[in-house]
Amino acid sequence: MDQHRTIDMLAVGGVDIDLVLTMDRLPSFDEKVMGTLVGRLPGGPAANAACAASRLGLQVASFSSVGDDPAGQIVIEDFKRFGVDTSLMEVCANAETTFTVILIDPTGEKAIVVVPTFTAEPRLEVAATVLPKTRMLYMMPQDHAHFKALAQLAHQHGAEVMIDMERTVEADSTSVERILVNTDIASFNRDGFYAVTGEEPSVVAAQRLLAYGPHTVVVTHGARGSLAVTAHDIAEWPGYHVQTVDSTGAGDTFNAAFLWGTLRGASLVERLGFANAAAAIAVTGMGPRGMLPTEVEVRNFLSIHTNS
């Protein structure tokens, strides 16, 4: 292991405040339903993954921007609570921290509206000072040009690049090639995978994406579990049957746990099993960070649950 790399995961962007509401059923258009406020909770995909990874024992720093509003302070305080390094964060003057509205029905499934309130500057010169100390750059490549610049910088400095591919990345069958050429580990959820392949998750469709450059392609499929492929290996893992309270942050916890296994040199199937177990624990808690497991908790879960 490279001893100079003291940051296991540099989590780029993906911070927001989630206004979380529960209701008996999600409203359809032109309809009113009664809801209950769970809270205004710190969330965001890369930020949730950062907290999950830190909880598992990785050294994590957030490379993100918030507004100089109370929401921004909540984001920073929660990172500190989870032991995520906030020294690289930027607080932007006169800016409102990005927020989302998350609606949760009694099955624990979610509907999310993201409200991006400002666009932060890329800060490539700051990134260049920290990437030589970083093992994995982690981000959702929503801004394709920003991602390309950061990912190429990461590779110049010997860091790897892992991406979270959801539908909001707005990648299609053409642009995915340009994203994956700068990627080492690509993790898709079902909708993100469908957007770029036009297919449901399968080993064969995932293997096709390896040709664009990543050494590992992962596809998660909610409660059904996940699959992962490399040039030499294939792994599939069914989801665990758990009492789902809130599936927000499932994929983020999954990715953090997959990264945890990767940095520890675990086999593909071990990484997949560990990640599925960690994410299954996460969905049993309310809120995006309501039940982020430790390594011991994941190992205990694996020892008592069969994956069928």
Task: Count other C-beta atoms under 10 Å from residue 198's C-beta.
Answer: 10
Nearest distance from C-beta of residue 96 to ligand ADP, angstroms = 25
What residue number has its CB nearest to Mg ion?
251
CB of 39 to Mg ion, least distance (A): 20
What's the min distance (Å) between Cβ of 100 and Mg ion? 12
In the complex, least distance from residue 52 CB atom to Mg ion, rounded to whole angstroms: 11
- Output the CA–CA distances (angstroms, integers) from residue 260 to 3, 27, 50, 225, 239, in the order listed: 17, 38, 11, 18, 19
Exposure on the CB side of residue 242, measured as CA atoms within 13 A: 30
User: Taking the complex as a whole, how short is the minimal distance between the CB of residue 223 and ligand ADP, in angstroms?
Assistant: 4
Cβ 100 vs Cβ 114: under 8 Å: yes
Q: Find the binding residues for ligand ADP in span 204-233 (CB under 6 A).
A: 220-223, 225-226
**Contact status: 251 vs Mg ion (CB under 5 A):** yes
In what helix (H) or strand (E) does residue 80 lie, and over which residues does it extend?
Answer: helix 70-81
Site residues (CB under 6 A) for ligand ADP, limited to 73-92: none
- Among residues 82, 138, 147, 240, the one that binds ligand ADP under rule CB under 6 A: 240
> What long-range pairs does 167-172 form, CB within 8 A, spacing at least 24?
167/191, 167/192, 167/194, 167/195, 168/114, 168/140, 168/142, 169/140, 169/141, 169/142, 169/195, 170/142, 170/195, 171/141, 171/144, 171/195, 171/196, 172/196
Query: Which residue's CB comes closest to ligand ADP?
Result: 251
Q: What is the Cα–Cα distance from 156 to 153, expressed in whole angstroms? A: 5
The stretch near ligand ADP (CB under 6 A) out of 60-68, 131-139, 245-253, 294-302 is 245-253
Considering only the stretches 33-41, 115-123, 235-243, 259-267, report the one whose residues sit in contact with ligand ADP under the rule CB under 6 A.
Answer: 235-243
Q: Which is nearer to ligand ADP, 21 or 92 (CB)?
A: 21
Interface positions with ligand ADP (CB under 6 A):
166, 189-190, 220-223, 225-226, 239-240, 242, 244, 247, 250-251, 254, 276, 279-280, 283
Give the binding site for Mg ion (CB under 5 A).
251
